[in-house]
């Protein structure tokens, strides 16, 4: 069996890395990897950490590119790769423009498609944009659906996808997280980035770790988030650590509002192992990221989600996450409540998996050889 994995962003790379390495161990599988690099620098950090060298690098990232121009570039360039590799199966992940366009290109050529992290739904095509439509489109095109949870499985069944084409595995990000925690905990492991963070961030305060990048928060949303953080930073027991996304729609507002403020540490985006270390040190996390909602339960960290809806309801139902939107008063109130009352989770069991999702995916594929 010849399998082509395709991804283009840092989150995809993080979640596909364990699948790639599991497949590379198999003697009956020929594995090829293509990256579109719709994110360049952040993608390269992950590839380096996981010791992955792509067979094909389309290097499609351009300044200020639109979704339509990116989609057209992916379609035209991946067509060449697919015709050269002639895979039996293409594996894509999640909800990116790369995933949906590669799936469409493979469908046009009659190549089977496996969709990892299938079945997530917000049921609002504008939130998150364009991810919700990307994942729905990919589900319509895919032949095999690797769903992470029972909720995701049910979403697919509700859309008329046959149960024999759905394999519930857990989320591969938990595999990645566990692998990373093991690696960075070893005495011989050293990362200059982490050493700098240790010297920069006070160890005697409650760390509020913040991330944000969603389009729906551009403008007023990010202004509200920053104003809330300014208020929280007045507390003597808090340090706010914010790796600021490279997108100018995020950077311009964040640096204008929060630069040179006491108890606020604005830092450049960090590598995945450094970010895992930051999550370990944090008291709570404020984010609009999907992956962090999945990882945080394994670390025992509460998450405040600055969105109005999440396609990851399992964490909310289990009490690990709260959806708080992007209103200043709600953000402030939610952060203060956790800072003053949170004392840890009891009987932690991550609803997103046990760390064996990639093995389940590979076992299924091997059963079909």
CB 98 within 8 A of CB 38: yes
Rounded Cα–Cα distance for residues 23 and 369 (Å)? 13
The predicted structure's pLDDT at residue 69: 96
Which of these ranges, 63-72, 169-178, 272-281, 329-338, has the smallest mean pLDDT? 63-72
At residue 39, does pLDDT exceed 80?
no
The predicted structure's pLDDT at residue 193: 94
What is the average pLDDT value for the chain, to the nearest integer?
95
The predicted structure's pLDDT at residue 42: 77
Average pLDDT over residues 63-67: 89
Residue 27: CB atoms within 10 A of its CB come to 5
Confidence of residue 346 (pLDDT cuts 50, 70, 90): confident
CATH 3.30.1360.200 assigned to domain 190-341? The reply is no
Rounded Cα–Cα distance for residues 57 and 13 (Å)? 13
| 192-216: pLDDT as tens digits | 999 999 999 998 999 999 999 888 8
- For the domain with range 2-171+353-367, which CATH number is right: 3.40.50.2000, 3.20.20.150, 3.40.50.300, 3.20.20.70? 3.40.50.2000
The predicted structure's pLDDT at residue 41: 79
Query: Fold identical between 2-171+353-367 and 190-341?
Result: yes
Residue entry with tokens 């104003």: 227
Q: Would you please indicate which residues are annotated as catalytic (active-site) residues? A: 95, 117, 131, 213, 215, 245
CB 78 within 8 A of CB 102: yes
The predicted structure's pLDDT at residue 117: 98
Rounded Cα–Cα distance for residues 215 and 175 (Å)? 28
The predicted structure's pLDDT at residue 348: 80
The predicted structure's pLDDT at residue 143: 98
User: Which token pair is 183?
Assistant: 């690696």
Domains of the chain by residue range:
2-171+353-367, 190-341
The predicted structure's pLDDT at residue 93: 98
Average pLDDT over residues 327-354: 95
Pairing of strands 112-116, 144-147: parallel
At residue 238, does pLDDT exceed 80?
yes
| 248-272: pLDDT as tens digits | 889 999 999 999 999 999 999 999 9
The candidate with the shortest Cα–Cα distance to 74, out of 47, 42, 106, is 106
In sign, the C-alpha dihedral spanning 197, 201, 204, 208 is negative
| 104-160: pLDDT as tens digits | 999 999 999 999 999 999 999 998 999 999 999 999 999 999 999 999 999 999 999
| 82-99: pLDDT as tens digits | 999 999 999 999 999 999
CB 148 within 8 A of CB 351: no
At residue 163, does pLDDT exceed 90?
yes
Question: What does the angle CA 219 – CA 222 – CA 224 come to, to the nearest 5 degrees?
Answer: 105
The predicted structure's pLDDT at residue 288: 94
């Amino acid at each position: 069996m010849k399998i082509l994995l395709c991804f283009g962003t840092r989150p995809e790379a993080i979640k596909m890395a364990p699948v790639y390495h599991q497949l590379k161990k198999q003697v009956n599988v020929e594995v090829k990897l293509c990256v579109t690099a719709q994110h360049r620098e952040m993608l390269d950090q992950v590839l380096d950490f996981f010791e992955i060298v792509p067979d094909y690098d389309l290097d499609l990232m351009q300044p200020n590119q639109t979704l339509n121009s990116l989609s057209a570039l992916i379609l035209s360039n991946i067509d060449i790769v697919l015709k050269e590799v002639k895979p039996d199966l293409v594996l894509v992940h999640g909800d990116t423009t790369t995933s949906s366009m590669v799936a469409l290109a493979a469908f046009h050529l009659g190549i089977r498609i496996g969709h990892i992290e299938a079945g997530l739904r917000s049921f609002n095509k504008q939130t998150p944009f364009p991810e919700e439509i990307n994942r729905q489109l990919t589900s319509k095109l895919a032949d095999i659906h690797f769903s992470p949870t029972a909720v995701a499985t049910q979403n697919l069944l509700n859309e008329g996808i046959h149960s024999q084409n759905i394999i519930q595995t857990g989320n591969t990000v938990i595999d990645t997280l566990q692998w990373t925690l093991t690696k960075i905990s070893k005495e011989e492991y050293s990362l200059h980035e982490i050493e700098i963070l240790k010297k920069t961030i006070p160890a005697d305060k409650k760390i509020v770790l913040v991330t944000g990048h969603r389009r729906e928060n551009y403008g007023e949303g990010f202004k509200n988030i920053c104003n809330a953080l300014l208020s929280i930073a007045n507390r003597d027991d808090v340090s706010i650590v914010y790796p600021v996304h490279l997108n100018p729609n995020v950077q311009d507002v964040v640096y204008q509002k929060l630069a040179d403020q006491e108890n606020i540490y604005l830092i450049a985006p960090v590598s995945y192992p450094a970010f895992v270390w930051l999550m370990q040190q944090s008291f709570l996390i404020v984010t609009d990221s999907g992956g962090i909602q999945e990882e945080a339960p394994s670390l025992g960290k509460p998450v405040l989600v600055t969105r109005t809806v999440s396609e990851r309801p399992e964490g909310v139902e289990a009490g690990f996450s709260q959806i708080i939107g992007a209103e200043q008063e709600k953000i402030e109130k939610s952060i203060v409540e956790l800072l003053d009352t949170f004392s840890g989770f009891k009987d932690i069991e991550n609803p997103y998996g046990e760390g064996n999702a990639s093995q389940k995916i590979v076992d299924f594929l091997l059963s079909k050889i």
